[in-house]
Amino acid sequence: MESIKVFAPATVANVSCGFDVMGFALDNPGDEIILKKRNGKGIVIQEITGEEGKLSNAVDNNTATVAIQSYLNHMGENIGLDVYLHKKMPLGSGLGSSAASAVAGVFAANELLGGKLSRDELLPFAMEGEKLASGDYHADNVAPSLLGGFRLIRGYDPVDVVQIATPENMWVSVVHPAIEINTKEARGLLNKEVALKKAIQQWGNVGGLIAGLITEDYGLIGRSMKDVIIEPVRAKLLNGYDAVRQAALDAGAVGCGISGSGPAIFTFNPDEQTAQKVGDAMQEAFLTKGITSNIYCSRINQQGAVVLG
C-alpha cells in the first residue's frame, strides 16, 4: 500500500457531568487525511484545507503529525510520508477538532504500515497529538473518535477506556454557533478545587447518566445531565446559552449540555424527528441573539475512524 485515505469523526466530550471522563463519537462532521509514502525520510505536510490558514504546516506543531511521529518513533519506522489534511469541521468548536486530526493521522499511519497495532494500542499516540492542543493528556475526545461509541475514561494511570451501551434509537443534536472558544483558555478559567457538596452531586449525576444510558431510561438520563462544577463557569463564555438550552428542552430534548469546552451545544433526543426539531429550536434561539450557527444531527457513531480508500 502506497497511500491511504482515512476519516475520523467529531466527538462530544464531558457529556455534561462527565468532565474529562466521558465522550462519544458523531457520524458527522469529522476530518479526512491522506498519507502517501515517498522517497526519503521524514513527514512533510503538503496540504491543509478547510481551516482558513489557521493551522501550522510545521510537523511538530500540528496534532495530526505529532501523533503520526509519536507512532513512527514507537514502531522504529523512519519512512517518508506526505500528509494531506482536510478539515471537514470547524476549529475551536468543542467538537474535538484537534482530536479528530490526531486520530485520523495515527490510524492512517498504522493502516498504511499493515495495521500492526490494535486501535486500543494506538490511543496513547493520538493522545500525544491532543496534548499539543489542550496542554495535557486527555482521552475523552480521542478515544471515541478512534474507537467509536460512547466511552468512559475510568482512569489515566494507565489509560482505562470502557464502552458504554446507549439506546439504539437515541439521536444527538449539535448546534455550533459562530463563536470560537480556545480550549486552553477555557480550561484556565476552571476552579482547581471543588466543594465536597458539589462533588457528591456530580458523582451522583455521572452514575445516573451511565445507568440511564445502559437501561435506556430517558427520564434518568435527563435528570442526570446536570453539571454543577464545569458548566456554570463555561456557560458565561456562551452568549445566550440559557435560552438555547431552554429552547432545546421545550422542543423535546431529553437533556442538553455544552460539548467539550464549547461553544457547541449538544442534546440527547428519543428519535430522529425530535433531533431535527430540537436542532431547529436551538438555531432559532441563537438567531435571537444575532448569532448564526450550524446544526448536525446524528446517531452515536459506533465505528470511529474508518478507511475511505
In this predicted model, what pLDDT tens digit does every residue of 272-305 receive, in sequence order? 999 999 999 999 999 999 999 999 999 999 999 9
Residue 238 is given by DSSP the state: S
pLDDT-derived band at 156 (thresholds 50, 70, 90) equals confident
DSSP string, 86-143: EE-S-TTSSS-HHHHHHHHHHHHHHHHTT--S-HHHHHHHHHHHHHHHHSS---TTHH
- pLDDT score of 85: 97
The contacts of residue 167 (CB under 8 Å, 6+ apart) are 213, 216, 218, 270
| 2-12: average pLDDT | 98
Give the catalytic positions in this structure: 130, 183
| 141-154: average pLDDT | 98
For the stretch 201-235, pLDDT in tens is 999 999 999 999 999 999 999 999 999 999 998 88
3-164 and 171-299: same fold? no
d(CA 9, CA 207): 26
Q: Which of 108-112, 214-218, 257-261 has the lowest mean pLDDT?
A: 257-261
Closest CA to 161 of 150, 152, 174: 152
CB-hemisphere CA count at 13 Å for 90?
A: 20
d(CA 147, CA 156): 17
Q: What percent of the chain has pLDDT over 70?
A: 97
Instruction: Indicate whether 182 pLDDT > 70.
Output: no
Strand-by-strand arrangement of the 255-258 sheet? 255-258, 265-269, 171-177, 293-299
Closest CA to 5 of 29, 34, 31: 34
| 181-188: average pLDDT | 68
Instruction: Indicate whether 239 pLDDT > 90.
Output: no
d(CA 257, CA 146): 23
pTM equals 0.94
- pLDDT score of 186: 66
pLDDT-derived band at 137 (thresholds 50, 70, 90) equals confident
Closest CA to 72 of 26, 108, 29, 18: 108
Fold assignment, 3-164: Ribosomal Protein S5; domain 2 (3.30.230)
User: Burial level of 275, CB count in 10 A (0-12/13-18/19+)?
Assistant: buried
Rounded-to-10 torsion of CA 105, 107, 109, 112:
-140
Mean pLDDT, the chain, integer: 94
d(CA 81, CA 239): 43
Domain positions in the chain: 3-164, 171-299
Q: Which CATH superfamily is domain 171-299 in?
A: GHMP kinase, C-terminal domain (3.30.70.890)
248, amino acid identity: A
Closest CA to 97 of 128, 148, 142, 52: 142
pLDDT-derived band at 261 (thresholds 50, 70, 90) equals confident
d(CA 108, CA 26): 19
